[in-house]
Structure 1
Amino acid sequence: MLKLDGVAAFVAVADAGSISEAARRLGLAKSVVSERLAELERLLGARLMQRSTRRLALTEAGTAFLTRGRRLLREAEEAVAEIAEQKSLLAGPLRVSAPVSFGTLHLGRALHPFLAAHPGIELTLELDDRFVDVVTDGFDLVIRHGQVHDTRLAARRLATSRRFLVAAPAYLEAHEAPASLDALSAHRAILYANRETDWRFETPSGAVAVRPRPGLRVNNGVMMRGAAVAGLGLALLPTFLCHEELAAGTLKVVDVGVPAEGAQLHAAYPLDRSASAKLRALIEHLRRAFGSPPFWEKGLRLP
């Protein structure tokens, strides 16, 4: 009889490209994943993967079975979710990805009451500043700061996020504060390394991109904030990263005459899966937890 854990192991290995990475995603030992994959091949009477020391490749049978295997797993998950919903229970696995800085600062405390209220949910949260592929990396949900352009995904807004150009008081004392976009070229910038380095501002004639002179590139927002507080240059930061520093005065808003382009926090999930009850509940919980306007902007005196 076909076992779903074997199908899950096969799909995970196909998505991850290796048994070791699939084992990490499943939270299992590598030997367990290998055994389940071998058992599935014995039951099907066909080799699903060609194994070598460097890589795994799907056979013709494996390629054909992968689509059906995904469907089997999805239908099983939907059946479990439907029964749980009928019982007014939320249960089962959820795999979520979020940026490191936002996840560390705000997502944890938002998730804690949700998990306490729904102990049947098995949440795996992976914090990663790289741009993960929700579908191929096997996530149920990803939280993104900015627009979601992937047509394979459905996106729900979680919260708004304003951005401000900020600097430490010491930096502004040592360097003449820029009062226009043109004046930014004379300043050192602290930039986010994982995306384009342009700073975008909203002018009466439309959006304008400014490419500042880099003083530091780093792929983590908390480190960008720390560098700005240390007086190393100007940084364009969302309020969820710098609200405490703005309130304390260790960072100041730099007014260049036009506002920086804002962004939104989105929850995105694969379009080819209907949103399960637990996924819908998590999204709605996060929307309430962050608030509108978001709690990190309440009490701030912002321009």
Structure 2
Amino acid sequence: MMKLDGIAAFVATVEAGSISEAARRLGWSKSVVSERLAELERTLGTRLVQRTTRKLSLTQDGGNLLPRARRILAEVDEAAAEIVERRGSLAGPLRISAPVSFGVLHLGRVIYAFLAEHPELELSLELDDRFVDPAADGFDAVIRHGPVEDSRLVAKRLAVTRRTLVASPSYLERAGTPKSIEDLQRHSGILYSNRDTDWRFASADGWRVVKPRTCMRVNNGIIMRDAALAGHGITLLPTFLTYSEIASGSLRHIDIDMEAEGAELYVCYPLARTPSAKVLALVDSLRTAFGNPPYWDSAC
């Protein structure tokens, strides 16, 4: 029969990339991690990890076991947390992923207050701009900005966000202020590299897509904002990235008499998994903190 500490040693070794790092994360000695991993392999009658002097790599059997092993550990953690929750408190691990720019600018203060309210939680927050799969990547929930088209996920809306064209006063004085779609296409654009048709505007005839002259492509909103502040061109960003700069005058809204395509912030978790009280409590805290309309739009 497989033992939990063997499964824990296997998962930690794979995720850490070495037995010594797995031992540090688990708080065990290297010899104990090696023994537990070897014992698991003996129990299953197969090699799970290939060990060399330079690196560790998964065997085919190890690769097949890994997602199930992660789920087993998550279920055990969740079961233990539920017992604590029935006593009226939230406890145990909570692993969340969120976009980098939004996380840096807006998640910290909410999460600090959430942890102060629930001191028995063990929160892991990973900031990543790629579309993270919560089930495959071992997250309890992920925060996404934009459409959620995966039918395997439940998406709970946190806030509706607006996107607006912005540029620095120095750029607009040098290049002129566009008044129309046609004007906009002649300007330098700072574009988000994770979207092919990022500049979309609602018109009476449907969506209009604008492809400005590209001066920069990057997959991070804060760098896009800072490039605009430096006077390199016009960019289209959610107001949660620009509301402070608009208020101070260091960036200006550009009005072309069309509304840019907006987006929504969601918390997503796997459809096949019942959401824990921890995830639901976090959703409530985020909604309350952001407000309706969100505070970054109220400030604009």
Asked if residue 218 in structure 1 is aligned to residue 215 in structure 2, the reply is: no
One-letter code of the match for 2:237? Answer: L
Deviation at 1:79, TM superposition (A): 1.9
Deviation at 1:257, TM superposition (A): 1.5
Which residue of the partner structure matches residue 285 of structure 1? 285
Asked if residue 130 in structure 1 is aligned to residue 126 in structure 2, the reply is: no
Asked if the contact 2:17–2:56 (Cα under 8 Å) also holds between the matched residues in 1, the reply is no
Deviation at 1:123, TM superposition (A): 0.5
One-letter code of the match for 1:134? Answer: P
Q: Secondary structure at the match of 1:236?
A: strand
C-alpha spacing 1:33/1:205, structure 2 compared with 1 (3 Å) = farther
- Counterpart-to-counterpart distance in 2, 1:90 and 1:236: 39
- Counterpart-to-counterpart distance in 1, 2:263 and 2:19: 33
Give the structure-2-normalised TM-score.
Answer: 0.87
* Cα-Cα RMSD: 2.8
C-alpha spacing 1:227/1:65, structure 2 compared with 1 (3 Å) = closer
Which residue of the partner structure matches residue 273 of structure 2? 273
- Counterpart-to-counterpart distance in 2, 1:265 and 1:42: 47
C-alpha spacing 1:289/1:152, structure 2 compared with 1 (3 Å) = same
Deviation at 1:271, TM superposition (A): 2.2
Which residue of the partner structure matches residue 170 of structure 1? 170
Pairing of 1:35-184 with structure 2 (within 5 A): 35-50=35-50, 56-60=57-61, 62=62, 65=65, 69-70=69-70, 72-184=72-184
One-letter code of the match for 1:38? Answer: A
- Counterpart-to-counterpart distance in 2, 1:210 and 1:259: 13
- Counterpart-to-counterpart distance in 2, 1:6 and 1:257: 62
Q: Secondary structure at the match of 1:154?
A: strand
Give the structure-1-normalised TM-score.
Answer: 0.86
One-letter code of the match for 1:8? Answer: A
Unaligned stretches of 5+ residues in structure 1: none
One-letter code of the match for 2:95? Answer: R
- Counterpart-to-counterpart distance in 2, 1:72 and 1:208: 48
Asked if the contact 2:78–2:92 (Cα under 8 Å) also holds between the matched residues in 1, the reply is no
- Aligned residue pairs: how many? 296
Q: Secondary structure at the match of 1:136?
A: helix
- Counterpart-to-counterpart distance in 2, 1:64 and 1:141: 23
Deviation at 1:13, TM superposition (A): 6.0
- Counterpart-to-counterpart distance in 2, 1:249 and 1:240: 16
Asked if the contact 1:23–1:33 (Cα under 8 Å) also holds between the matched residues in 2, the reply is no
C-alpha spacing 1:95/1:23, structure 2 compared with 1 (3 Å) = farther
Asked if the contact 2:19–2:34 (Cα under 8 Å) also holds between the matched residues in 1, the reply is no
Deviation at 1:118, TM superposition (A): 0.6
Matched-pair identity in %: 56
- Counterpart-to-counterpart distance in 2, 1:71 and 1:236: 40
Asked if the contact 1:41–1:47 (Cα under 8 Å) also holds between the matched residues in 2, the reply is yes
Which residue of the partner structure matches residue 233 of structure 2? 233
Unaligned stretches of 5+ residues in structure 2: none
Q: Secondary structure at the match of 2:261?
A: coil
- Counterpart-to-counterpart distance in 2, 1:73 and 1:193: 36
C-alpha spacing 1:34/1:191, structure 2 compared with 1 (3 Å) = farther
Q: Secondary structure at the match of 1:292?
A: coil
Which residue of the partner structure matches residue 254 of structure 1? 254
Asked if the contact 2:180–2:256 (Cα under 8 Å) also holds between the matched residues in 1, the reply is yes
Deviation at 1:41, TM superposition (A): 1.9
